[in-house]
Amino acid sequence: MSVRVSVAVAWPARQEVIDLELPEGSTVADAIAALDARFPGAGLAQMRPGIWSRPCAAGRRLRDGDRVELYRPLVADAKQMRRARVRAKR
């Protein structure tokens, strides 16, 4: 048996959604490892993973139809930016 999942990776200039077919019992880490050959040196293993917009551990087992998402680190915290704008207006 196999599991069909999609992996979404967003870079500043573009977004990729790649469909994968992995052996049953595969984990999020296995899906990320399958993409390492396609994007060498991209640092995918350092990105935080999630499934359907919910953060998860790399050891989580995948189910058929899951959408694995890889999140880049935030450049700026939204709360801090909002506070800075308020301070600037005063």
More confident residue, 17 or 73: 17
β-strands 2-10, 48-51 pairing: unpaired
H or E element at residue 59: none
H or E element at residue 83: helix 78-89
What pTM was estimated for this model as a whole?
Answer: 0.76
Per-residue pLDDT tens over the stretch 30-58: 999 998 878 877 778 888 999 999 999 99
Partnered with residue 71 across adjacent β-strands are 48
Q: Which domains does the chain have, with CATH numbers?
A: 2-89 (3.10.20.30)
